Structure 1
Amino acid sequence: MTPRNILSFAIGPVGGALLGLITLPLVTWFFSQEDVGRLSMLQVTLSFGVLLFSLGLDQAYVREFHEREDKPALLKQAALPGFLLLTFFIAVFLCFGELFSDLLFEVPAVHLSLLVALGLLASFTSRFLSLVLRMNERGFAYSMSQLLPKLLLVILVSLYVLLGADKTLTNLVAATIVSLVAVTLVFAWNTREEWVKAVSAPFDLNEVKSMLRFGLPLILGGLAFWGLTALDKVFLRALSSYEELAVYSVSVSFAAVATIFQTVFSTLWAPTVYKWASFGEGIENISKVQRYVTFVVVTVFCLAGLLSWLIPTVLPESYDDVQWIMVSCLGFPLLYTLSETTVVGIGVSRKSLFSMIASISAFIINILGNLLLIPNFGAKGAAVSTCLSFFIFFVLRTEFSNYLWIKFSRGLMYKFSFLSVSTAVSYTLFGEGNIGVFSLLWFFILFYALLEFRLELKDASLFVFNRLRKFLPKFSQ
């Protein structure tokens, strides 16, 4: 993948995260806290629906794409079984009218159930059409389709505010579903040649069975990872209140800005490291990358802890706890990114079972953590449970990789990740009223990291300076 392609794929997550920072204050100021919490249950349901009804065939499509000549037929075999199953499931649920909305929102309403059904179909369809763009390396079209729903949501909520529309759950859900349908339509237009051919392509049941044998086992690991990132919201819905769920969801959304780092790094890292492994060259660079990423992870944790007091300035007073919760919510994107630098051995050795064990183990720990912490701490407990679970996830992936492939030093990563995580969860639970103490602690960790990684900082500074001299010759005179 060329740098230009990488940049085109990165535009989507970067722009989406920035637009999310605009959407959040708008939604929290205009809609009730309970309805914001209900919206998060809709998002959890949509992500779960895509994961479950894809039947792992989305992963099989990616796996088979470069080996199949008849790619439209491959798309049909991958998407049709799950689409038919999802349609049947929706039809059964809609027979009960208000069941969808009653289960998700505790608001029995047929029109809300219809909106949820439409959202499920749109999310499922856009998943497979987005894969067509990704596999054909049409990064700009893929990124624009990611940006569009966020942009439409901002526009629709802004129109609600300007026109004085009712601050109802229906309007909030409708804005979300309209944005999803819009992105599906854009995907459909950008991939029209592929899916039009797929409609008339032959359907080979034997090929589908082969793809299912590959894809279905992946669902277990996928469900475990989904549980790591979404089960906290389900437990908050069951054990606490929609208000706590809203506070937590907004915290997660603020922390999602760190996914910019996660997405860009993963896009660059995976092809590079597997190229090193295949040629047996550059392996020594893996430890260097691990040190750089560890420094970035620690720095982001520290800066978030030091600057989180700014968050209440853009949110209603009822969301004040976001400033404490958001820091622990960074555990998902940051620790996942760090684990990507260490998990290489599992991929190189093709022992994906170990990756699944790591996901399932962390998932079980997250269940126990939510059950123990949410009744006493609400949204704070959910954030702490997820952060600790991802720390375990990182450690397991690292140890399995070290066992299966080359040995590498892990002490420094463990030391700084433990410092960051332990301070983050303490800050979430006990930061209120002790912000001075924690500010000193964050400063200490950051200063310690600057000393420990001074050589990396020097190398990075020289790299940036040399690049500037190359593009700005006058600076070198």
Structure 2
Amino acid sequence: MKTLIKRLMQFAIGSLGSAFLNLLTIPVVTYFISPAEYGKTSMFMLAQTLLICVIYLGFDQAFAREFYDYADKNKLFRTAIFIPLLFSIFVITMMCIFAKPLSIFLFDSDNYYHAIYLIACSTLFLIFERFIFLHIRMQNKALEFSLFNILVKFMILLCTVLFLIMFSHTFITVVYATIIGQMIGDSILIIRNYRLLQFNWLKIDRDLLPKLARFGLPVVVATVIYSLFVIIDKLFIRYFCDFEQLGLYTAAFKIASALLILQTTFSNFWVPTAYEWYKKQKPMRYFKLVSDSIMFVIALLFTGLLLFKGLIMMILSPGYAEAQYIFPFLCFYPLMMTVSETTNLGIVFLKKSWLNILVSIIALVVSVGLNVLLVPRYGAIGASIATGSAYIAFFLARTYFSMKIWKGFSVKRHMITTSLLFVVAALNIVIHTVWLITMINLVLLACITFIYIPIVLTVLRSLREKRQQSLGQEKGMEI
């Protein structure tokens, strides 16, 4: 337990540092550019999200799945990264050929096609970054993983500040700064791990490739569908509203993403730990305890964001004030993503990755349906409700399919907590009286704490027993 907590804390350094730098970027950008310009910046983020969802072809997930079963880690690395690198050549070529149409689609003008070239070139850096970080993470080198994550985010922030000071206060300046900062940070990461890249690219395990593809390709199909699910809200706002509404929505999304501090930390820690526990055939109560604990912690953070949303919004410039009524439902994104990491283990352990396709389709259908109904009438607020509801559907589908094929555990507390958060998030949108909504949020906090008292007591009892065992072993050694 002590080792696990230490590892979790080391991963937390990177997540906390990265999240802090991301949050620091928000007031910097919103101070210099208007909501409409920020909306155009979000279209660049949309393009990058699509790239990230597609270019790995699921081989990154297959790499993680095989890491503990394959003896030669370096050979596994070069075999897993080989196909994504080949695919990136095709992606870069297509992006360069269709640079002007892509520029019109993203930025409403073909004058920014040079930015498309730069985004295309960043593809290679994204692939190396992803696989190197995975290699470090799966080896449980938590501190190294954290420090380099912070480094990459710091370079992006530094370039953003310098570019906005030196050049025009427009979205394209932010786009160039983000890409160049990312490339500089990734270059340092690649140089630090150059030994990992010193191999004969022709000496890959050809027998392993089909195995990686069988696991990875269903994942990439699900990922493509999931990527549509991720961007559909922004596309609806772009089509039915304007760049200003998109900018407000993006700012709100950034604020809600503060909860990704825990999601990223937990995911980095949990993926290798869960595989390790499964291999050692740990009892199911361990998995349930982790799932309940993480639900409790992130629900508390969710409630904290609702309680202090007025203060949090002060980091944005006054032009973004309406974002505080958009972000409550967006908090379901990191909440549901984090908790589903503990309830979808059956899909992962039993290698039923094709079920992720069904999960993504269900979430996409919910998202499209609600966006069609809500965005034309309510704009960015409607999109936030659709997005939050779709992520709840994503969690429910992931959990259902996992528990159908795996022994699993009870998720009754998860259901109750999610229902409470949904109701209170809706109230935070419609009630603008500060004292009343504060009271409602405090009642929510009390209810969640009451629900999870047994879990807290179990964790404390487990820690106490571990401590007593440790003290007993030390006394035995002294004797």
Q: Does residue 123 of structure 2 align to residue 124 of structure 1?
A: no
Q: 1:297 to 1:98 in 2, by over 3 A?
A: same
Greater Cα shift, 55-64 or 72-81: 72-81
What residue in structure 2 maps to residue 474 of structure 1?
none
- Deviation for aligned residue 1:276: 5.1
What residue in structure 1 maps to residue 118 of structure 2?
115
- Counting only pairs closer than 5 Å after superposition, residues 266-277 of structure 1 correspond to structure 2 as 266-273=267-274, 277=278
One-letter amino acid of the counterpart of residue 185, structure 1: S
Correspondent of 2:188 among 186, 189, 194: 186
Q: Distance in 2 between matches of 1:249 and 1:273?
A: 33
Q: Which runs of 5+ in 1 are unaligned?
A: 470-477
SS in 1 for 2:198: helix
2:218–2:357 contact (8 Å) kept in structure 1: no
Could you list the per-position Cα deviations for residues 250-307 of structure 1 after superposition, in whole angstroms to 9, with x for gaps in the alignment? 2121122211222333344445555555555542344444443333343223222221
What TM-score do you get using the length of structure 1 for normalisation? 0.86
What residue in structure 1 maps to residue 383 of structure 2?
382
Q: Distance in 2 between matches of 1:69 and 1:277?
A: 18
What TM-score do you get using the length of structure 2 for normalisation? 0.86
Q: Distance in 2 between matches of 1:217 and 1:456?
A: 36
Q: 1:116 to 1:160 in 2, by over 3 A?
A: closer
What residue in structure 2 maps to residue 472 of structure 1?
none
What residue in structure 1 maps to residue 474 of structure 2?
none
Q: Distance in 2 between matches of 1:341 and 1:228?
A: 21
What residue in structure 2 maps to residue 47 of structure 1?
49
- Deviation for aligned residue 1:27: 0.4
- Counting only pairs closer than 5 Å after superposition, residues 305-316 of structure 1 correspond to structure 2 as 305-316=306-317
**Cα RMSD for the two superposed structures:** 3.2
One-letter amino acid of the counterpart of residue 35, structure 1: E
Q: Distance in 2 between matches of 1:144 and 1:47?
A: 23
- Deviation for aligned residue 1:153: 2.8
Q: Distance in 1 between matches of 2:403 and 2:333?
A: 22
Identical-pair percentage: 27
Q: Does residue 159 of structure 2 align to residue 145 of structure 1?
A: no
- Counting only pairs closer than 5 Å after superposition, residues 75-474 of structure 1 correspond to structure 2 as 75-109=77-111, 110-160=113-163, 163=165, 165-199=167-201, 201-202=202-203, 207-273=208-274, 277-279=278-280, 281-406=282-407, 408-428=409-429, 430-431=430-431, 433-457=432-456
One-letter amino acid of the counterpart of residue 446, structure 1: L
- Deviation for aligned residue 1:364: 1.6
Q: Distance in 2 between matches of 1:410 and 1:343?
A: 12
SS in 2 for 1:166: coil
Q: Distance in 1 between matches of 2:279 and 2:186?
A: 37
One-letter amino acid of the counterpart of residue 215, structure 2: F
Could you list the per-position Cα deviations for residues 20-57 of structure 1 after superposition, in whole angstroms to 9, with x for gaps in the alignment? 11110000111232222222221221222132222222
- Deviation for aligned residue 1:224: 3.1
Q: Distance in 1 between matches of 2:268 and 2:358?
A: 24
Q: Distance in 1 between matches of 2:424 and 2:194?
A: 50
Greater Cα shift, 64-73 or 456-465: 456-465
Q: Distance in 1 between matches of 2:10 and 2:238?
A: 37
What residue in structure 2 maps to residue 33 of structure 1?
35
Q: Distance in 2 between matches of 1:467 and 1:204?
A: 43
SS in 2 for 1:197: coil
Q: Distance in 2 between matches of 1:453 and 1:180?
A: 40
What residue in structure 1 maps to residue 472 of structure 2?
none
SS in 2 for 1:98: helix
Aligned length: 466
What residue in structure 1 maps to residue 477 of structure 2?
none
Could you list the per-position Cα deviations for residues 381-402 of structure 1 after superposition, in whole angstroms to 9, with x for gaps in the alignment? 1211111112122222333344
- Deviation for aligned residue 1:182: 0.9
Q: 1:354 to 1:121 in 2, by over 3 A?
A: closer
- Deviation for aligned residue 1:407: 6.1
Q: 1:304 to 1:355 in 2, by over 3 A?
A: same
Q: Distance in 1 between matches of 2:109 and 2:126?
A: 22
Greater Cα shift, 216-225 or 84-93: 84-93
Q: 1:339 to 1:117 in 2, by over 3 A?
A: closer
Q: Distance in 1 between matches of 2:64 and 2:179?
A: 27
Greater Cα shift, 297-306 or 364-373: 297-306
Q: Distance in 1 between matches of 2:374 and 2:200?
A: 49
Q: Distance in 1 between matches of 2:448 and 2:68?
A: 43
Q: 1:205 to 1:412 in 2, by over 3 A?
A: closer
Correspondent of 2:64 among 36, 58, 62: 62
Q: Distance in 1 between matches of 2:218 and 2:225?
A: 12
Correspondent of 1:22 among 21, 24, 31: 24
2:284–2:408 contact (8 Å) kept in structure 1: no
- Deviation for aligned residue 1:320: 1.0
